[in-house]
Amino acid sequence: MGSFTRILEWIFVLYFVCHIPITLLVDLQILLPASFFPQALKDYNTWYSLTLKDPLATELPPWCVAFVYCEVLAQLPFFPFAVYAFYKGGCKWIRIPAIIYSTHASTCVLLMIAEILFSDFSTFSLGPLSLQERLVLVAVYSPFLLISLLLLNTMLFNPQYRSEEKRKLKAR
């Protein structure tokens, strides 16, 4: 069980290490003026939006902007702690913050995927019109959902992260 847990922890390290620049360089463009970012990053966002027809990146519904605020203000400060905890391995103190993060992140991404799958984008300036275009976008968002759910499952059910609580219960 220990080596499998260590593999999961390395997956989480990679996830959070990748998530930091994505948040700072891509998602933050939604909240800050364009002058804060180099042209190459703005060009990347334009390419992404046009190529994948992501309405959440172009139309910016208010709820999606609110999610980005949550990501920047609540999730981003958590990322370095998560990188440290999972890099070190077996840090039980990360359990509750990771449960909070993974619950919030998976809920947000699930709503984004539902929007992509079920909304009518025919009146949007840019959006997926075919099932194939929608599924490509779902494939882009799905790793964030799957890893968040994997993190939640690990924190809730992995005995390596629950053992401290069991000792407290036995002591009573």
Looking at residue 169, what is its pLDDT? 55
Q: Is the pTM of this model over 0.85?
A: yes
Neighbours of 50 (CB within 10 A): 12
| Per-residue model confidence as pLDDT tens digits over 45-78 | 999 999 999 999 988 899 999 999 999 999 999 9
Helices (runs of H) and strands (runs of E) counted in the chain:
8, 0
Q: How many CB atoms lie within 10 A of CB 48?
A: 15
- Residue 100 in this model has a pLDDT that exceeds 90: yes
**Cα-based angle 43, 47, 52 (whole degrees, multiple of 5):** 155
Average pLDDT, the chain: 93
The pLDDT assigned to 96 comes to 97
138 vs 155: CA distance, rounded Å: 25
Domain regions of the chain by residue span: 1-161
Q: Pick from 75, 67, 61, 22: which is nearest to 44 by CA?
A: 22
- Say if CB 83 and CB 17 are below 8 A apart: yes
